[in-house]
């Protein structure tokens, strides 16, 4: 039996919702919501009006604590599109709730602009890093991004300008669906709108200037896109390594001896559901990994400073592991194999003879596949051109039974 109703409400207040949603609000013993939502619904609230608590997790606990009573939660727009419904359903079975969605800010913005929503990138930057925009900055892309407050649009324009997309058009849509609705556009590099409503969504028509920092969609990004001190899995080898790691939705990678973090970063760029932990013993390199992650649009990469295998203790069990540095240290390879989830993949790249010998021994004992990767690039030799080979890589790929 359902005890929880979730009502999406917009700036048009009660006029924009149906009779069933109004009844759910009116019959609730307690109504949770933001101060703005509660004010909009106040004419029909007969029970207790409870503003959200801080931190928000306390509000979720408060809602769950009312199980068995008639509870209503007010949400902005569509509760299951970057909304509170997505959080509550992790704690309450869908059969115990009735949801009354309202057009989301994304739907309203797309309608105002005439943008087919299926062709648009939709992001929530509400309380999240703006760097999440970076992977989507490709010429011709249309982006709708929820912001946190009135400062968000200018910050987005600044990021676009810094990354080489300064002539992109930023349209700020404020208080959509209500009497205060406003739609204004400016070029990112000349952005100067003021008195922006805190309730806004930004529409970005991406235009790339020459030299813009575009992150290609394929693995094997150019080495120059990463800050590094030479400790980086080079582009061609990295592409083959990502192929061997074979990312699948929702998986977690350990990047042991992360160096610049390039493999973990490209793993996360493959799909937004993927997670990674970069384990790096050198604090300066670990800080560099974090900077790279932010600059490449995956600021949620976890950076763990410590020396393997000791640093692996207590970490969430991975679905895949990459060992590119420090793999020859005693116990690292065995600890990684033990930590890997059943069915998980381990990929280890060896440059040194010591690590290569270890990989050969483990291949003999545990199976898997061995590959030799050799890359040569054309380079000047005097007035002529010749192939200059990089150090060959021995790669062991193993799947845990």
CATH number for the domain harbouring residue 71: 3.40.1010.10
Of 173, 179, 177, nearest to 197 by C-alpha is 173
Provide the edge-to-edge strand list for the sheet that holds 393-399: 302-305, 275-280, 252-256, 320-323, 345-350, 393-399, 369-373
Is position 210 within any domain? no
- Say whether both 78 and 125 belong to one domain: no
Is position 215 within any domain? no
On the question of pLDDT at 330 being above 90, the answer is: no
Based on the number of CB atoms within 10 Å of its own CB, is 217 exposed (0-12), middle (13-18) or buried (19 or more)?
A: exposed
Is position 119 within any domain? yes
Q: What is the pLDDT of residues 72-95, one digit of tens each?
A: 999 999 999 999 999 999 999 999
Confidence class of residue 326 from pLDDT cuts 50, 70 and 90?
confident
Based on the number of CB atoms within 10 Å of its own CB, is 6 exposed (0-12), middle (13-18) or buried (19 or more)?
A: buried
- Say whether both 97 and 117 belong to one domain: no
Is position 33 within any domain? yes
CA atoms within 13 A on the CB side of 372: 7
- Give mean pLDDT, residues 338-367: 96
Confidence class of residue 209 from pLDDT cuts 50, 70 and 90?
very high
Strand 320-323 and strand 345-350: pairing? parallel
Asked if 291 and 315 count as a contact pair (C-beta separation under 8 A), the reply is no
On the question of pLDDT at 289 being above 90, the answer is: yes
On the question of pLDDT at 8 being above 90, the answer is: yes
- Give mean pLDDT, residues 355-374: 96
- Say whether both 268 and 356 belong to one domain: yes
- Eight-class DSSP state of 223: G
- Say whether both 145 and 187 belong to one domain: yes
- Say whether both 341 and 262 belong to one domain: yes
Run of H or E including 399? strand 393-399
Q: Taking the CB of residue 110, how many other CB atoms lie within 10 A of it? A: 21
The domain in which residue 233 lies consists of: 223-399
Q: What is the pLDDT of residues 31-48, one digit of tens each?
A: 999 999 999 999 999 999
- Say whether both 45 and 117 belong to one domain: no
Q: Indicate the angle between helix axes 332-339 and 353-366, nearest 10 degrees.
A: 40
Prediction pTM value: 0.93
Q: What is the pLDDT of residues 187-199, one digit of tens each?
A: 999 999 999 999 9
Strand 252-256 and strand 71-76: pairing? unpaired
Asked if 181 and 175 count as a contact pair (C-beta separation under 8 A), the reply is yes
Asked if 43 and 134 count as a contact pair (C-beta separation under 8 A), the reply is no
Q: Domain with 134 in it: what CATH number?
A: 3.30.950.10
Q: What does the alpha-carbon distance between residue 327 and residue 339 come to, in Å, rounded to a whole number?
A: 15
Mind giving me the DSSP string for 146-214? Answer: E-SSTTHHHHHHHHHHHTT-TT-EEEEEESTTSTT-EEEEEEGGG----S--SSEEEEEE--PPTT---
- Eight-class DSSP state of 6: E
pLDDT for position 329: 84
User: Domain total for the chain?
Assistant: 3
pLDDT for position 325: 75
- Say whether both 234 and 379 belong to one domain: yes
- Say whether both 233 and 324 belong to one domain: yes
Is position 198 within any domain? yes
Run of H or E including 309? none
Asked if 293 and 301 count as a contact pair (C-beta separation under 8 A), the reply is yes
Least confident range from 153-162, 273-282, 328-337: namely 328-337
Which of residues 178, 205, 232 is at a domain's end? 205
Which of residues 102, 133, 159 is at a domain's end? 102
Q: Domain with 367 in it: what CATH number?
A: 3.40.50.150
- Say whether both 117 and 193 belong to one domain: yes
- Say whether both 332 and 245 belong to one domain: yes
Based on the number of CB atoms within 10 Å of its own CB, is 185 exposed (0-12), middle (13-18) or buried (19 or more)?
A: middle
Which of residues 43, 75, 102 is at a domain's end? 102
Is position 211 within any domain? no
pLDDT for position 247: 98
3-state secondary structure 324-335: CCCCCCCCHHHH
Residue 249 backbone dihedrals phi, psi, to 5 degrees? -50, 135
pLDDT for position 63: 97
Is position 213 within any domain? no
Is position 152 within any domain? yes
What is the total residue count of the chain? 401
Q: What is the pLDDT of residues 135-186, one digit of tens each?
A: 999 999 999 999 999 999 999 999 999 999 999 999 999 999 999 999 999 9
- Say whether both 234 and 170 belong to one domain: no
Beta partners for 184? 172
- Say whether both 251 and 340 belong to one domain: yes
pLDDT for position 328: 79
Dihedral sign, Cα of residue 106, residue 112, residue 113, residue 117 = positive
Run of H or E including 386? strand 384-389
Asked if 49 and 31 count as a contact pair (C-beta separation under 8 A), the reply is yes
Percent of the chain scoring above 70 in pLDDT: 100
């Amino acid at each position: 039996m359902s005890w929880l109703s979730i009502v999406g409400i917009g700036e048009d207040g009660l006029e924009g919702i149906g009779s069933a949603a109004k009844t759910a609000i009116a019959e609730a013993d307690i109504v949770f919501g933001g101060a703005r939502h509660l004010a909009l619904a106040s004419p029909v609230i007969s029970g207790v009006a409870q503003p959200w608590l801080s931190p928000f997790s306390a509000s979720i606990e408060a809602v769950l604590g009312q199980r068995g009573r008639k509870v209503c939660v007010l949400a902005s727009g569509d509760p299951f599109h970057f909304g509170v419904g997505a959080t509550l359903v992790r704690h309450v079975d869908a059969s115990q709730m009735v949801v009354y969605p309202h057009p989301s800010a994304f739907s309203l913005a797309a309608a105002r602009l005439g943008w087919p929503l299926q062709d648009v990138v939709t992001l929530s930057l509400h309380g999240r890093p703006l760097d999440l925009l970076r992977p989507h900055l490709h010429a011709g892309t249309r982006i709708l991004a929820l912001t946190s407050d009135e400062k968000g649009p200018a910050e987005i324009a600044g990021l676009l300008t810094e990354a080489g997309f300064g002539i992109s058009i930023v349209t700020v849509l404020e208080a959509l669906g209500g009497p205060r609705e406003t739609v204004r556009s400016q070029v990112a590099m000349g952005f100067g709108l003021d008195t922006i409503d805190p309730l806004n969504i930004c529409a970005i028509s991406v235009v790339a200037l020459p030299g813009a920092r575009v992150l290609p969609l394929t693995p094997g990004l150019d080495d120059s896109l990463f800050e590094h001190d030479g400790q980086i899995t080079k582009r061609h080898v990295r592409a083959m390594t990502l192929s061997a790691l074979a990312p699948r939705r929702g998986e977690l990678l350990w990047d042991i001896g992360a160096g610049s973090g390039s493999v973990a970063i490209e793993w996360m760029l493959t799909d937004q559901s993927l997670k990674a932990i970069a384990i790096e013993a050198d604090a300066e390199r670990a800080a560099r990994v974090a900077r790279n992650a932010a600059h490449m649009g995956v600021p949620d990469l976890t950076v763990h400073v410590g020396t393997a295998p000791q640093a692996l203790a207590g970490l969430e069990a991975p679905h895949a592991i990459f060992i590119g540095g420090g793999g020859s240290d005693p116990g690292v390879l065995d600890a990684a194999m033990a930590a890997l989830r059943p069915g998980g993949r381990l990929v280890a790249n060896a440059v040194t003879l010591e690590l290569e010998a270890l990989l050969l021994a483990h291949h003999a004992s545990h199976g898997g596949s061995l590959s030799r990767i050799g890359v040569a690039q054309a380079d000047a030799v005097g007035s002529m051109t010749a192939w200059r080979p990089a150090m060959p890589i021995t790669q062991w790929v193993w799947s845990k039974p």
